[in-house]
Amino acid sequence: MIPYGRHDLDDQDIAAVIEVLKSGPLTQGPVVPAFEIEVANFVGARFGCATNSATSALHVACLALGVGVGSRVWTSSNTFVASANCALFCGAQIDFVDIDLDTHNMCMSDLERKLRMAESKGELPDVLIPVHFAGLSCDMRKLACLSQRFGFRVIEDASHALGAKFNDERVGCCRYSDITIFSFHPVKMIACGEGGMALTNDENLIEKMRRLRSHGVTSDQDQLIDYQDQNQWYYQQLNLGYNYRMSDIHGALGLSQLKKLNQFISIRRKKASYYDEVFNEMDDLGIINSHPEGYESSLHLYVIRQKQNGKTSKQMLDFLRGCGITANLHYIPVYLHPYYRGLGFEQGHCLNAELYFRTATTIPLHTQLTPDQQEYVIQQIKNFQAVV
Ligand SMILES: *Cc1c(COP(=O)(O)O)cnc(C)c1O
């Protein structure tokens, strides 16, 4: 089977992990802070908070921004469930914004329309979670204007977008947001096994997120309540936190993988450009322009869409899977899952996301896709399109 995505490990990565197993503390030790510094430097943010997944990073990010019972959080309808679940973990209400069919990202004009309506009802969101789908950044300048105008905070779910650029700066620099989240799940841009990170430029937010990642406990003298003695052993729990720490084993893998990120992206770019060339010639297939002016996608996913030809995602997925290609669908609109329907969401809530869901397919794009495999994928897609 040819997978849609796959991690890429070499001997250096394996040696880095073995080094920790031989000599390091196995839990969070010196490697995790080194990884945080490297990622923060790479994207141009001041601080990083490494966690055991992007899901836990999203959770502590919401909590650090004060999301709780009575808060409202909005995210994209076309995303993984974790972008929405993090709000529900905090007891907040969630809602979904429709997507733009040219970028598959949250649609800024639909967002603005929805914000005006919410304003008139006194139901504006407290936090917005845009998702940089497939590695292409949302229009963060537009979003920052809306955030000033309507007074919400912003967490970028950049799980797909490590290495991507917006306005010629790296996604994660947090120029237009409070916090940015990355995922290091094996299908993402770099692999830790499991892992995630929250980036921010705000000292107060990083302090809160790091404390929430480790039980809400601190031994930092500056944070202790009513305690003056300089005892090394003393600690206090200040919040209800979690055990969301990243281990040094995972951090070592991430640190080693990060060195190869630029190379990974350039390999993805070559393969994606080849797909672009082929599919641009095919009138009934739509693709994303991954290089609008000032944007650079990390090319985490390669999605094709059926134009008005009656063919569906389901037919294409069944066909490709039948020929040994594990194509996929990113994503089922989050609110159509049974759990979310149980909260009262109904079909028709975001029409573009539903049209996208009926017509989109994620095809294989990763560093280890061989030229022969890529030709095979293209041939099978042509075969499918040729069937009436
Ligand atoms: C993968 C992913 C997540 C969750 O990442 P984990 O590290 O697996 O928790 C969240 N949001 C999006 C958009 C993702 O693709």
Cα–Cα distances (Å) from 182 to 155, 254, 289, in that order, read 11, 12, 23
Q: Relative to the CA of 83, which ligand 1 atom is closest?
A: 11
Q: Are 154 and 106 in contact (CB under 8 A)?
A: no
90 C-alpha to ligand 1 centroid (Å): 18
Nearest alpha carbon, ligand 1 atom 10:
82
- What is the structure's pLDDT at 388? 64
Q: What separation in Å is there between the alpha carbon of 110 and the centre of ligand 1?
A: 24
Torsional sign, CA 284, 277, 273, 2: positive
What is the predicted pLDDT for the residue at 136? 98
Ligand 1 centroid to Cα of residue 254, in Å, is: 16
Residue 26 near residue 269 (C-beta atoms within 8 A): no
Atom of ligand 1 nearest to the CA of 55: 9
Q: Are 355 and 101 in contact (CB under 8 A)?
A: yes
Burial (0-12, 13-18, 19+ Cβ within 10 Å), 80: buried
- At 294, list the tokens: 């000032």
Residue 85 C-alpha to ligand 1 middle, in angstroms? 11
Determine the residue of 180, 185, 190, 213 to mutate for testing ligand 1's pocket, defined as the one with the most ligand atoms within 8 A of the Cβ atom. 185
Residue 258 CA to ligand 1 centre (angstroms): 18
CA of 58 to the centre of ligand 1 (A): 9
Is residue 306 within 8 A of residue 312, CB to CB? The reply is: yes
The ligand 1 site (C-beta within 6 Å) comprises 53-55, 79-80, 82-83, 131, 157, 159-160, 183, 185, 196
Residue 356 and residue 101 in contact, taking contact as beta carbons nearer than 8 Å: yes
Atom of ligand 1 nearest to the CA of 58: 10
Rounded to the nearest whole angstrom, what is the distance from the C-alpha of residue 5 to the centroid of ligand 1? Answer: 14
Distance 82 CA to ligand 1 centre (A): 6
**Nearest CA owner, ligand 1 atom 2:** 159
Q: What is the pLDDT of residue 95?
A: 98
**3-state SS string for the chain:** CEECCCCCCCHHHHHHHHHHHHHCCCCCCCHHHHHHHHHHHHHCCCEEEEECCHHHHHHHHHHHCCCCCCCEEEEECCCCCHHHHHHHHCCCEEEEECECCCCCCECHHHHHHHHHHHHHHCCCCCEEECECHHHCCCCHHHHHHHHHHHCCEEEEECCCCCCCEECCEECCCCCCCCEEEEECCCCCCCCCCCCEEEEECCHHHHHHHHHHHECCEECCCCCCCCCCCCCCCCCEECCCCCECCCCHHHHHHHHHHHCCHHHHHHHHHHHHHHHHHHHHCCCCEECCCCCCCCEECCCCCEEEEECCCCCCHHHHHHHHHHCCEECECCCCCHHHCHHHHCCCCCCCCCHHHHHHHHHEEEECCCCCCCHHHHHHHHHHHHHHHHCC
* pLDDT, tens digit only, all 388 positions of the chain: 999 999 999 999 999 999 999 987 888 889 999 999 999 999 999 999 999 999 999 999 999 999 999 999 999 999 999 999 999 999 999 999 999 999 999 999 999 999 999 999 999 999 999 999 999 999 999 999 999 999 999 999 999 999 999 999 999 999 999 999 999 999 999 999 999 999 999 999 999 999 999 999 998 888 999 887 777 788 999 999 999 999 999 999 999 999 999 999 999 999 999 999 999 999 999 998 878 899 999 999 999 999 988 899 999 999 999 999 999 999 999 999 999 999 999 999 999 999 999 999 999 999 999 999 999 999 999 999 998 6
Beta strands 153-157 and 127-129 are parallel
User: From the CA of 48, how far away is ligand 1's center (Å)?
Assistant: 17
Contact 219, 235 (CB under 8 A): yes
CB 8 within 8 A of CB 367: yes
pLDDT at 249: 97
pLDDT of residue 38: 98
Which residue of 4, 137, 159, 250 sits with most ligand 1 atoms within 8 Å of its CB, as the best mutation to test the pocket?
159
